[in-house]
Structure 1
């Protein structure tokens, strides 16, 4: 390629994008990528790049801001299409007439009901002030109509509603939830979300929203007499409940519980069993379409069905952006339903194929365009005309038209100062695409503030004790990040916050980001419609495309679905396909009905066939399946539960009650099948427990749900077996692992058969044993990045395994306690503390200090800081050199990068000293109280 071509700008039309040229209009806002700030808080001059342009008729001259150094790779240009007349001369088409970008949304001045200060809502001024401070100054007409529905604000009526992503649906649920708690101080609320990341995000939001908001404590004190010294606080307490959480907050310590589906089900079970179900006033089910999820959907159905069967009414609010049959769900939940189609930010959708961009206003138009392109029709009048074209690239890495288009569109967005969200089909694909995009973006020429913020982000990543992906060193300085499940939680949090605040302009992610966290973008670019080898489902596709555009940041959202020819028709059919209806997961093939019946019998909510029938008639299953079939399913499930000795009949033969095993299974949160498996494993352990080593214990609290675990590397498994001492080998044999079989599979490269029930059970044992080795290494202070390499498992998966074990081990402890196995419960509880700390027993006290875990705790110990008191009395400056010894990668940094790295470590050291000091004070106070 010629030097002139290489140095030519990637954007030739100044600060306008090509789509802006087509619209022939400019924007009044200059949004900061990913920022959730209100418009008035956005800095007025985000960094823009304006590079030399060839002369173009009709275009305004460019405004030079800064001229960066040439990028390492040239992205292709995105150009408006030029038509050719019969004489052969080319001309640019006139601008396509488009409707106004924003429909005029009325405000409080036109409609007083659009302010939450209106007396009809009855909200306390402090709550409305908090909403103002969070950027919510008014509500949309649909939100007002929904909230003012009869009986909703008073908690007398249930609600099911659907609204597009970004349409403000969460705010409706937040107001109903807090209104119920404020007006009924003796009641509690539960908000259910499907993923831990969403729980953590929502927890921060609700705490900010409820900050300083008071309940009517006098009314509460009159209803429930409290001692003078134990009078309840008037402030609303919001707590999070999710797997892996280190919080010690109980149900009685909070007013609003933000939970995962599993934790919410356990909380409700415990409340009903303890007779405290009357305290529950409202349940909010976010992402209600998750009812269709084969693995967890039935738990959401069980949760709602139990609450509808209670004598004390509980207000249920369900919402989703992708809900095709809200009428059915409303009938099931005895609720009003509301369908909102309003989007405050319009979305323009495009199909990108063979370096051409076609407008597709709807699925039908997309289908027509794709069909015509696939047919290869050469008649120009029948072929769709592209809106814009992307110049082809001669560079080897950009030969593929899909890759070329993704890079060109992402680079154009970043250089305009907007945020781009790129979805790829795999973790490796996301990292490669992020690296490729960063190669086309300039490093030099940035303003000092942007450069400093990116250097700070890179220093924060380098300071993580669990290591960081080396690719970040290349991409972050160019304003590009990536996000997938293989990264650690800390890495994902840092890059998500950086994109959210505009430090990063481009985020490349797998589809897990679309469902797991809320990060909007000006442009959403799909690098194909596959996630792995399969096409994404219509719900996931809508989730990804729905991330485009957010009010207060952008005046428009844009989606670009980049396709190859072999996928065109399939993607068109996917877009045109109806959303699958939400159905019950208690059907026979999904086997949820057994757990449903065991739970209500186990918590003493039902004890007869009549009460069981009443419960089943409150389920979604009853509304979607023939009643005769449902009755037969109940009969068969009761028989299976009795045969499994999970429930039993009383002397009257008409009453059903749980056995001790059944109560243990319900308390531990296991399904009947998993509970029986765990019981058999624990019984074998009680007969021959290996106490002179740790291997047996680690195996026992390794989760039984092995479907999400990494595949076994048989050579690694073999090597770990050979390194075991005599105690470890005894434990391995007792749990059912045959070392000779592992040797054979390690040498031959074979795999276990999983055809019969016995083979499936044996495969589960081997997967648990393989995961137990990883947990053992974690608790023995081996760094996460070392374990990742050793077992060929991404670091994020090891963290996920450890977090899953926290919840599973807690359930196992409850199981043992219900079975009367107190000694085994005590042993497991001790090992759970070690797992949380990632350290041996001698470091458990140190591991309670913030940022001091595993390897870091051992380094402090070896350097003389052997207690919380020693750390609390230390000078933070003296801790920095010690902390540098614990870093995963000893990178040699110089100059500014080295200084920023030390500053990050010093900031952590100050937090460590403060945390240790507070821990020491609590220990001293506890000691004085005992004396």
Structure 2
């Protein structure tokens, strides 16, 4: 607020997940309306590069890590990076978490190198090697152990509860015995005493129960309901019925049988197998106290804000991996939130054999945060070098080394490189970029023969690759696929175009069911079947695979798998229900949802890729239309409502049917009237929807006014 309202400069808020970005956009839009600034969403396929240059209003950009990096690139390229007064990074420890950490490090390093006036604030509850990050960000360090609500940590071994006590010899001291009468049947089904632990809390208070796997979440929620008292059914029964009706509405009359059985008891599971709409409705019901317990996976710990009176960790493992200290702290940190609870507690269930490991877990310091630029065969370094050269931030080896010295990797050189010099590492990273035809330049040694001099520039392909944020592993494949398809692009339907924007990196997550593949081919019309041949999946191949025969003719495996996913997307594109498509292809509905979201984002990247290469001019209009359609996969009349942050298909349909058929109508709606006319809508949700619609309308109006002013403005060189 201070940066935007007092210093009159833009601010960027970087968050780890799309769901949190959307939550913050909804929460902060009301402030923007009242205080006359813009709140702009940069997540998924949303966000304009470069952003509109507003002369009368400042902007708060709320972005995922990847979108924030693209935004920073566009501001550097247009020489507007100094318009960014403040950058706030939530969950700063994600710098050390693989490819996403590398992207975050790139964005922050570029801001530090190109702007002397932008302030960076990083926040984290789980950092250890703070001095490295201080050095990297040239930062002051503030830390506090203050917690408004005290958190008590416990460990459960057999039927004993032990309080975490760092002063004791083994890290915890005996607190109490569990007091709950179990039948012999219950002891077999619930050896961890989960029923005893949750019934001490629910239904009066909220509880989160973290499970090692998605399947375990569902099984545990079913098991708990089997033994819960029938009195649970009468608690907020009317609201639970409305929740079940809303979940049915989302699934076009279909509801997950597990949820149908658990919701009446006030329980639900929460993991990536849910669709976005289901997850949002379940989170809302939990926040409002309709649901008192969620069985969830570790991903919820870093997701949306869902606090609890008690947090239970069913196991010190996530899948087969033992918990990291950072993960443990993230999970138990959900217990006891100010303004919601007066106290909070966590209970970690462990077996006798893991007692020593758990003692280390609760007492050892946080894991150190190390640069991810060398993650996956130094992919991060290569990505960074390509964009540095393309943006003309650093085009010679000495400038590149100077820039890299200021990265977190540069600060931690000795940890990562024992024998190689930084210069050698950069030279090696540049080589594959040259081999792929992404950069070009001449190399020569200085007259003293010591220092390597190199003037580098990006090729057209390199420029398109970094501008579109296309993965270096697939940029040449994408280029070839687009070129090949120009020779025989099938435009009688959208299937061929959808194939071209199906993400390459999703292929490894999906194995085709050959009988379903074969069946899908024969359910399409003749023109749609032509696309199979156009991309390289012959009917004879599918026939043999479906019948279990050996295939002698070589067919590209990547193409075959990718086209199978294209058929899934094509079914969604034709406005089929997410549940129906998932069932049709025998896929988890959460995976199907994720595939659609990833494809919309990749389609946006492919569009930007084509905009930078003249030979692909024909694709531009086609991919502009396709990206918008993939982003929403709804009837065209619902798209303006779906653009409002947080409005999903089911809600958009409700609003449209109630007469709110345009963004303008929705922005001028009265929240109390919305609550009366729209089923399952709380007053808080109504206020957020109206504020978000007003903000989006303001953004569109501002953009049009800026365009008009630009048209009528006289050039400064005319006397």
In the TM superposition, what is the alpha-carbon distance from 1:392 to its structure 2 partner? 5.7
Distance 1:180 1:552 in 2: 27
Structure 1 residue aligned with 2:28: 206
Inter-partner Cα distance in structure 2 for 1:183 and 1:385: 54
1:741-820 pair list within 5 angstroms: 742-743=542-543, 745-748=545-548, 762-820=556-614
> What's the TM-score once normalised by structure 1's chain length?
0.64
SS at match of 2:200: helix
Cα distance in structure 1, aligned partners of 2:32 and 2:490: 50
Residues 39-59 of structure 1 deviation map (CA, whole Å, 9 limit, x = unaligned) = xxxxxxxxxxxxxxxxxxxxx
- Within the candidate set 144, 158, 166, 1:354 is matched to 158
Say if 1:393 and 1:633 are closer, same or farther in 2 by CA, change over 3 A: same
CA distance in 2, matches of 1:477, 1:249: 49
- Answer yes or no: is the 8 Å Cα contact 1:419–1:506 preserved in 2: yes
**Counterpart pick for 2:626 among 825, 828, 831:** 831
Q: Of 473, 477, 481, which residue of structure 1 is paired with 2:264?
A: 477
Distance 1:344 1:855 in 2: 36
Hey, what does 1:660 align to over in structure 2?
460
Q: Which residue of 2 aligns with 1:615?
A: 403
- Residues 1:243 and 2:72 aligned together: no
Specify which of 449, 457, 461 is matched with residue 247 of structure 2. 461
Q: Deviations over 1:25-72 (max 9, x none)?
A: xxxxxxxxxxxxxxxxxxxxxxxxxxxxxxxxxxxxxxxxxxxxxxxx
Match of 1:407 in 2: 195
* Structure 2 Cα separation of the partners of residues 334 and 542 of structure 1: 27
CA RMSD, 1 decimal: 3.9
Q: Deviations over 1:210-229 (max 9, x none)?
A: 5633xxxxxxxxxxxxxxxx
Which is worse superposed, 339-348 or 710-719? 710-719
What is the aligned counterpart of 1:393 among 182, 188, 211? 182
1:586-616 CA distance string (max 9 Å, x none)? 2273421110010111122222223222211
Q: CA deviation at 1:302?
A: 0.3
Q: Note the C-alpha offset of 1:711.
A: 3.9
Q: Tell whether the 8 Å contact from 2:40 to 2:61 is kept in structure 1 after alignment.
A: yes
Q: Distance in 1 between matches of 2:651 and 2:397?
A: 56
**Alignment correspondent of 1:702:** 502
* Residue of structure 1 in register with 2:69 after alignment: 265
Matched position secondary structure for 1:580:
coil
Given that 1:482 and 1:509 are in contact with CA atoms closer than 8 Å, whether structure 2 keeps it comes out as: yes
**Structure 2 counterparts to residues 903-914 of structure 1, below 5 A:** none
Whether the 8 Å CA contact 2:638–2:652 is kept in 1: the answer is no
Change (3 A) 1:402 1:743: farther
Q: Deviations over 1:502-559 (max 9, x none)?
A: 2221121111111111211111011112222333332212111111112233333211
Cα deviations by residue, 1:304-334 (Å, 9 ceiling, x for unpaired): 1101111543111111111111111001111
Q: SS state of the match for residue 135, structure 2? A: helix
TM superposition shift of 1:368: 5.9
The number of residue pairs the alignment matches comes to 658
- Larger proportion of helix: 2
Question: Are residues 311 and 505 of structure 1, via their aligned partners in 2, closer, same or farther at CA, if it must alter by over 3 Å?
Answer: closer
Q: When the two structures are superposed, what TM-score results if normalisation uses the length of structure 2?
A: 0.82
Q: Distance in 2 between matches of 1:568 and 1:719?
A: 53
Q: Within 1, Cα distance between the matches of 2:571 and 2:259? A: 27
Over 3 Å counting, the alpha-carbon distance change for 1:423 and 1:645 in structure 2 is: same
Give the aligned partner of residue 648 of structure 1: 440
1:567, distance to aligned residue in structure 2 (A): 4.0
Instruction: Work out the CA distance in 2 between the residues paired with 1:348 and 1:866.
Output: 51
Contact 1:783–1:854 (8 Å) recurs in 2? no
Query: Contact 2:49–2:70 (CA<8 Å) still a contact in 1?
Result: no
Q: 2:389 aligns with which of 592, 596, 601?
A: 601
Q: Matched residues in 2 for 1:746 and 1:365: separation?
A: 63
Select the structure of larger CA radius of gyration: 1
Aligned to 1:712: 512
Q: Where does the alignment leave 5 or more consecutive residues of structure 2 unmatched? A: 445-452, 666-675, 709-719
Q: CA deviation at 1:648?
A: 1.6
Contact 1:522–1:558 under 8 Å retained in 2: yes
Paired residues for 1:405-804 under 5 Å: 405-415=193-203, 417-444=204-231, 450-465=236-251, 467-587=254-374, 589-626=377-414, 628-649=420-441, 654-706=454-506, 709-737=509-537, 742-743=542-543, 745-748=545-548, 762-804=556-598
Q: Is the 8 A contact 1:438 1:479 kept in 2?
A: no
What residue number does 1:334 align with? 138
Residue-by-residue CA offset, 1:789-825 (whole Å, 9 max, x unaligned): 1122222222222122221111111111101112112
Shift of 1:465: 4.8
Q: Deviations over 1:419-459 (max 9, x none)?
A: 111111222221222233234444548878x3333333233
Q: Distance in 2 between matches of 1:402 and 1:521?
A: 24
For residues 249 and 612 of structure 1, do their structure 2 counterparts lie closer, same or farther at Cα, with a shift above 3 Å needed? closer
Deviates more, 1:700-709 or 1:191-200: 700-709
Look up the match of 2:673: none
Segment drifting more, 459-468 vs 539-548:
459-468
Q: Give a deviation string over 1:255-286, Cα, whole Å, max 9, x none.
A: 11110000000111111111211211111111
